[in-house]
Amino acid sequence: MKRWNGWGEEEIKYPIPPSAAIYLEANVGTGLSSQDIPKENVLANIPVSRLPPHPLVSIDNEERLRHARGQSLPDWIALRSGRIGVFPDGVAYPRTEQEVRIVLNYARKNRLRVIPYGGGTSVVGHINPPVENFPCLTLDLSNLNHLVYLDETSRLATFEAGVRGPDLEAQLQGRGYTLGHFPQSFEFSTLGGWIATRSSGQQSYYYGRIEDLFAGGHVEMPDAHLELPVFPASAAGPDLREVILGSEGRFGVLTRATIRIRPHPEIEAFFAVFFHDMESGLNAIKEIVQADLPISMVRLSDAVETETTLALAGRPKLVSRGSRLLTKLGYGKGRCLLLFGVAGKMETIRRLRSATHAIARSYKGLPMGKLIGEQWRKSRFLTPYLRNTLWEKGYALDTLETAVPWRSVSDTALRVKEAIVAAGVKLGEEVLVFSHVSNIYRDGASIYVTYLYPRQADPEETLNRWQVMKSAASLAIIAQRGTISHQHGVGRDHLLYLESEKGRLGLAILKSIGITCDPHEILNPGALFESDERRMNKHEN
C-alpha cells in the first residue's frame, strides 16, 4: 500500500550503510529522530465533511487524509506532525468524462472548490486544499487510465489523463512504442499531471519535454468544455494547448490527451565519465548539445553531490577502492560525475558513445564504462525513497530547480547554494547543499539543487528553517534571472515569485484566461495566481 505520510509504497525501503550515517553526521550534524504521529490520531481529528451526499463522492476520512497533501517538505512536516490544517471535504473518483462533468456541475451548484488530482506527487503545493470558507472537493482522476486510441500510422496515442507513468508505458510498449517521459516521480505521477505542470523527464533531451509530446486533448470546465484538435503544425492564431500546458488545473480538467510516441529503442545504455572539476564537465556537455549529438540524457553532479551520492549508495568498500583509484589518477576532491545515456540500435550507441567520450576527453574527462550508469538506471526511481530513510534518521530534505542560459549556469548554481548556506548560518543550522545539471538545451541548462539539514524537536521550527532557506534560494534565482521553476510548476510555494518572471501584465493575462475558463473560480483557487475574493463572492451570491 502507498504511504500516507511519505514517498511510495510502504514495503519498499532504502537502507543506508553505517558509513553513510557517519558521513551525514560529519557534514550536517546529528539528526534528531522523533516519533511521527500515528495515522489513527490524525483520522480521529478530521473535521466533519460539509458536502451534500453524491454517489460519485467519498467522504471517508482516510480518503480525505490521503488527498490532503502532496510530497513537498512542508507537506511532509504537516503529515508527520499531524498539523495538517485543511482537509478536502470529500474525494470524487469519476470513471468517464461525463462523470467529470457531473462532478463539476455538482461543485458549481453547491459552491464547492475543486482540486484536480493526478498521482499526488506535487512538491510545490498544487493539490493542497485552500484555506477559505468554501467546502473543497478533490477530483481524483485515477480511474481515467485507459488507452483510447493508437494511430500507428501517425504515431499518436490518445490516453485518458489519469494514467500513471508505468501503466502508460506498459500499454505502449506492448505495441512496440514508448513516450519516453521519465520524471523521477514516474512511478506515481500521471499524464495529466505532467501536462498541467509542464513536466520534464530524465531523458527529455532525446524524447522531448511534455510540451513537445502533447499534441491535443479534451478539457472539461465548469460551464463548458474545450476540444484541442491535433495538427502536425498550425498557424491559426495562438496555440490553445498552451492554455492547458502548465495551467495546474486552474483553467480546466484535462480528461484526455493525445501524445506523440515513437518506436521503443532497440537498446538503451548509460555511461559514466569523471571530470577534474565542474567547469570542465559543463564545457563538455555544452559542446555535446551544441554539436547536436542525439544522446538521450545527461546528469552532471557537482563535487559535493558526487561525494554524497557515493557515500549514501551503500557498498562502502567498493566505493572506497574506486575513490582511491580516482585519486591516484589525479581526480581528487573536486571530481564531478557525468552520467549520459544513449538509445537506438547498437551501431548508433557505439557511434554516440565514441563521439561523447571524445568530447569528454578533450576536457580531461575519464570514461568509466557502463557499471555506474547502469546502477543509476536500475535505481533512478528508487532514489526518492531515500527521503523516507533520511527523515527517520532525523534529517529534512528539499529540492528546487531553475534554468538559465549557459553563460549563467556556473554562477547561478554557486549563488543559489551560497544563499542556502548563508541562510543556514543565520539560523545556526548546518546544511548540506549540492546540485546537478540534468536537462540541457542548445542555449542553456537546468540546475537542480538538493539541501538537507537536521530536523528540530518542534515541527514548526523545522518548517520555519525551510521557509528561510527556500526564500533565500528563490531570491537568488530571481536575481540571476533564472526561471522560478524548470519542471515542478508553480503551485502555491512559488506563487510569490511568479510576477518577477511573468510581469504584471503577464499575470493579468493569466487571470483573464482564468475568468473566461472558470468564472466562478471553482478550480484549484490559489494556484498560479491569487483568487479574487470580491469577484468570487459576487458570483457565489
Q: Kindly report, residue by residue over 266-303, the tens digit of the pLDDT.
A: 999 999 999 999 999 999 999 999 999 999 999 999 99
**147-263 in CATH: which number?**
3.30.465.10
Enter the DSSP assignment of 464: H
How many whole angstroms separate alpha carbon 217 and alpha carbon 157? Answer: 11
Q: Per-residue pLDDT tens for 75-112?
A: 999 999 999 999 999 999 999 999 999 999 999 999 99
Mean pLDDT (whole number) for 5-17: 94
Res. 18 pLDDT band, cuts 50 70 90: confident
pTM of structure: 0.95
Percent of the chain past pLDDT 70, that is, above it, reads 97
What's the fold here for domain 31-140?
3.30.43
pLDDT at residue number 534? 47
Which residue ranges make up each domain of the chain?
A: 31-140, 147-263, 267-380, 385-479, 495-540
What are the C-alpha distances in Å from 432 to residues 27, 72, 396?
A: 7, 18, 11
Q: 70-84, 91-105, 123-137, 213-227 — which is least confidently predicted? A: 123-137
8 Å CB contact between 279 and 157: no
Indicate whether 535 pLDDT > 70. Answer: no
Q: Per-residue pLDDT tens for 55-67?
A: 999 999 999 999 9
Q: What would the 3-class secondary structure string for 188-218 be?
A: CCEHHHHHHHCCCCCCHHHHCCHHHHEEEEE
- What's the distance, CA 223 to chain centroid? 30
Res. 322 pLDDT band, cuts 50 70 90: confident
What's the fold here for domain 385-479?
GMP Synthetase; Chain A, domain 3 (3.30.300)
Fold match between domain 31-140 and domain 267-380 = no
Residues paired with 160 in a beta bridge:
256
8 Å CB contact between 283 and 298: no
What's the fold here for domain 267-380?
Alpha-Beta Plaits (3.30.70)
Q: Per-residue pLDDT tens for 185-217?
A: 999 999 999 999 999 999 999 999 999 999 999
pLDDT at residue number 530? 83
How many whole angstroms separate alpha carbon 118 and alpha carbon 120? Answer: 6
Q: Per-residue pLDDT tens for 430-489?
A: 999 999 999 999 999 999 999 999 999 999 999 999 999 999 999 999 999 999 999 999
Percent of the chain past pLDDT 90, that is, above it, reads 88
Indicate whether 335 pLDDT > 60. Answer: yes
